[in-house]
Structure 1
């Protein structure tokens, strides 16, 4: 099997799995307990927290472990506005965010918050001018993903941060689920975000692990009430093995980031040129300026499901746009936002690379796709 669906999830590193097992075996005590075994677990937890804080350029007490990217995103979208209603009830996000942002924003709209959704151009990029125009005195939160999960557009995070901090009192949240470990992303004063979300299973870590981190102490309501763990913001016994495993995966992602990006960019450009050779039969949603590890395209007058099944028969695993929306029988909101030609809307396929992808995988995909295109020639959407 050749696995090219790493933006949906990645295979955990063996080192991460070994870390998870070792911590479960030797540091299973509750880190909130005051006995020696509890203290040892808590020490290990603090060390993992410090490692993540170091990678993000923040302090230990500003890093919270969560169950993944969706929870981290929900934490930011609900936590900041509800704690800052005295400043206003206006939120800005984009029309191509992950569902964990968009659904949360819709929920807040139902509660009386006002949400503006920034449009994107054909490359999937927001307009900084529109962002500046939308900022208001009562804007309390701006949430913009760094890399789009469906087609890889990279948003101008640094420029956006400067605009937000210079023209409003809003907190700036960045969903870095698809960028952490692939592109530089960290806190950088007013030139960077105030809040960052990370997911473990996107960086060869474990599902059920994530991080929400803050640049500084912020006014935010607790996400889970109870015993006061995670600085009183997310109560419940902390999953030390997941936290330590995530820190391990994050360190490895950071260590290999530069060489991984070089490989991904080589494959991205090679496949981009290969797909372009099919002429008007294929529409590329991704651009050569987008994230190197994601390449999305669409085949004219074909359903994505047909392509996926045909490729799977040849041992190639890919997805239609995002895993979160691929099972739903409707057009992705990202595809709609890009305004691609109607006869390409249903045939979107996403290739995404990971640390375990190799050159042979790319060559095998090209062979398989060439065969599939020959076999499926003439199959039209019904």
Structure 2
């Protein structure tokens, strides 16, 4: 089996699974309970929070645990809007955001907010000049993803942060779900960033755990109310085993980041070089300005799901667009925003790599792809 769908979810580290099992079986008290078992669980929760914060170079009080990136995105987008609505109702998001951000923002339109999209150029990068011109006195929030989940385009977060230095009252949120463990933290979490979203299963942790970064002094209206957990910012009993396992996964992924990125860059470079030799293959990703772990391409005239299932027959697993949009049959929204016509965008398939992929798998993929490409001659 060849698994090239790591942007959708990654295989957990074996050590992470072991950590989850150990915590769930040995530290099973409720962190909010006042007795000895509760105190033990609370100490472990705070130790995990400190480990995550230290790895990011942040304060533990700035880390709030969530169920994943979607919850963190929803909470930050809606929470900032309602917290700051008396100062303005204008929100800017990039035209290539994940549905967790885009649909949260669209929901706010029905609540009386104005949402405007920041356009991108033909490579999928935010247009910085247009962005600077779109900021208004009533703008309260800017939201942008660090690494695009469909084509791997890295957004210029430090440059956007510098533009916002002139607008200190505008909150900046970064969806960093696809960035953590792949990029240097300074590229997606510079000092000007106020909020950020993360998800454990994107860096070899477990599904159901994630966290939000909330810069000290910044306020959000809570999305979940109840028992007052997480400093009354996010009520619900914490997923202690998932959080501890996530802290372990983050440490491991950051320790090996540079080594793994060298391998992924070699894998992507080799694939790009070989795929470019096919007359009817269109490349939507590049090396320059893109993450090393995502490569998106298409065969002209062949729908992405056709190629996906053809590869699946050989035990090679890829994706069409983002995993969250694929089942809805939507073309890659990023490609549409880049100005690529729908018939070409619908051909897109995404290969996404991790520490477990090898050059031997690349060779096997290319051999299989050559066979499938020849079989699509009549369709093309």
State whether structure 2 residue 62 is matched by structure 1 residue 44: no
2:236 — aligned with what? 236
Deviation (angstroms), 1:335? 2.2
User: Aligned equivalents of 2:272 and 2:96: distance in 1?
Assistant: 22
2:171 — aligned with what? 171
TM value normalised by structure 1: 0.96
Deviation (angstroms), 1:94? 0.8
SS of corresponding position for 2:259: helix
2:134 — aligned with what? 134
Deviation (angstroms), 1:189? 8.6
Superposed counterparts of 1:1-382, under 5 Å: 1-185=1-185, 191-279=191-279, 281-289=280-288, 290-341=290-341, 343-380=343-380
Deviation (angstroms), 1:355? 1.6
User: Aligned equivalents of 1:365 and 1:178: distance in 2?
Assistant: 24
User: Aligned equivalents of 1:87 and 1:313: distance in 2?
Assistant: 55
Tell me if the contact between 1:318 and 1:351 (Cα under 8 Å) persists in the aligned partners.
yes
Tell me if the contact between 2:174 and 2:188 (Cα under 8 Å) persists in the aligned partners.
no
User: Aligned equivalents of 1:267 and 1:101: distance in 2?
Assistant: 30
User: Aligned equivalents of 2:207 and 2:342: distance in 1?
Assistant: 36
Tell me if the contact between 2:145 and 2:174 (Cα under 8 Å) persists in the aligned partners.
yes
User: Aligned equivalents of 1:125 and 1:188: distance in 2?
Assistant: 14
SS of corresponding position for 1:144: strand
Q: Deviations over 1:155-203 (max 9, x none)?
A: 0001111111323411111000001000012599964411111001111
**Structure 1: gaps of 5 or more residues:** none
SS of corresponding position for 2:166: helix
* CA gap 1:271/1:188 in 2 versus in 1, 3 angstroms: closer
Deviation (angstroms), 1:217? 2.2
RMSD of aligned residue pairs (Cα, Å): 1.5
Q: Deviations over 1:199-225 (max 9, x none)?
A: 011111100111101222212111210
User: Aligned equivalents of 2:41 and 2:237: distance in 1?
Assistant: 12
| Range with bigger deviation, 323-332 or 281-290 | 323-332
Aligned residues: 379
User: Aligned equivalents of 2:131 and 2:186: distance in 1?
Assistant: 21
Tell me if the contact between 2:95 and 2:120 (Cα under 8 Å) persists in the aligned partners.
yes
User: Aligned equivalents of 1:202 and 1:251: distance in 2?
Assistant: 13
User: Aligned equivalents of 1:330 and 1:54: distance in 2?
Assistant: 39
| Range with bigger deviation, 317-326 or 179-188 | 179-188
Deviation (angstroms), 1:343? 4.4
Deviation (angstroms), 1:331? 2.2
Tell me if the contact between 1:187 and 1:194 (Cα under 8 Å) persists in the aligned partners.
no
TM value normalised by structure 2: 0.97
Deviation (angstroms), 1:308? 1.0
SS of corresponding position for 1:268: helix
Deviation (angstroms), 1:330? 3.0
Tell me if the contact between 1:162 and 1:191 (Cα under 8 Å) persists in the aligned partners.
no
